[in-house]
Structures are given as C-alpha cells and as structure tokens.
Amino acid sequence: MAEWFVAKASEMADGERRIVTAGKRDIGVFCKDGEYFAYSNTCLHQGGPACEGLLIANVVDIVTPDRLYHGQTFGDDMHFVCPWHGYEYDLKTGECMGDRKQKLRRFEVVTRGGDIYVVA
C-alpha cells in the first residue's frame, strides 16, 4: 500500500472532490462536513465514472404513521451518483442504494502536514 497525493486540505472546500490516479487505480475523494471519503471511481453497474456525478441528498417519501402518503422531500443522507446511468451510492459507506449488498471499494484517507493522501 502506498500514499497518493490528493490535494492540499486548504484547497479542498466542503462538497468538493478530486479524482486521483493512483498508479493503475482511479479513485474519487470527497470532502463533506469535515470528513473525507474515498471510493473506487468505477461503477459496479457498467463501469462508469461513479464518483464524477452529482452529490445529492437522498429522496424520501413522506409517509405518516397512519400509512398515508404526503409527497416527497430530500433526506439527510448524502449520495453520489454515477453520471452514466444514475446508480446512487451512500457517501458514508459506498453502498449501492439499489442493493446495499453491493459496495464500491473504499480507501483510507490520511492528512499530513496540511496535505491529503489516499492509501491504496
């Protein structure tokens, strides 16, 4: 395993990301709410650039305890979306929202001396 440079922490604002070529690997590194998340940038579906699409909150159907439906809203979970076909992944886990058994490979992110590195 080696550490691969991602960006200077000061240059990566909240909600931003970098796509890192780490040898033969293609990795997406997200900065969100003070945390870093790094995943394989290859979609589990047809191999698209999974980390290069929208970062967007989950959609929720509003169903009250009496089981009635009252429309939709955005929830509190963040997803990133493969721009090829719309496969959505949970930013915190890399799980595919259509089938949580399927996960993108996750990589560790470390910060040192103001620089961000991904371990791969």
* Contact mark string toward other proteins, 14..53, x via CB under 8 A: --xxxxxxxxx-----------------x---xxxx-xxx
* 66-96: burial string, b at 16+ Cβ within 10 Å, e else: eeeeeeeeeeeebbbbbeeeebbbbbeebbb
State the nearest-atom distance from the C-beta of 33 to other proteins, in Å: 18
Asked if 9 touches other proteins (CB under 8 A), the answer is no
Q: Judged by CB under 8 A, which stretch of 32-40, 76-84, 90-98, 105-113 contacts other proteins?
A: 76-84
User: With binding defined as CB under 8 A, does residue 54 bind other proteins?
Assistant: yes
- The binder of other proteins chosen from 56, 57, 62, 110 (CB under 8 A): 56
Per-residue contact flags (x/-) with other proteins for residues 85 to 114, judged by CB under 8 A? xx-x--------------------------
Q: Read out DSSP for the chain?
A: --EEEEEEGGG--TT-EEEEEETTEEEEEEEETTEEEEEESS-TTT---TTSS-EEEEEEEEE-TT--EEEEEEEEEEEEE-TTT--EEETTT-EETTEEEEEPPEEEEEEETTEEEEE-
Q: Does 63 bind other proteins (CB under 8 A)?
A: no
Q: Which residues bind other proteins (CB under 8 A)?
A: 2, 4-7, 16-24, 42, 46-49, 51-54, 56, 81, 83-86, 88
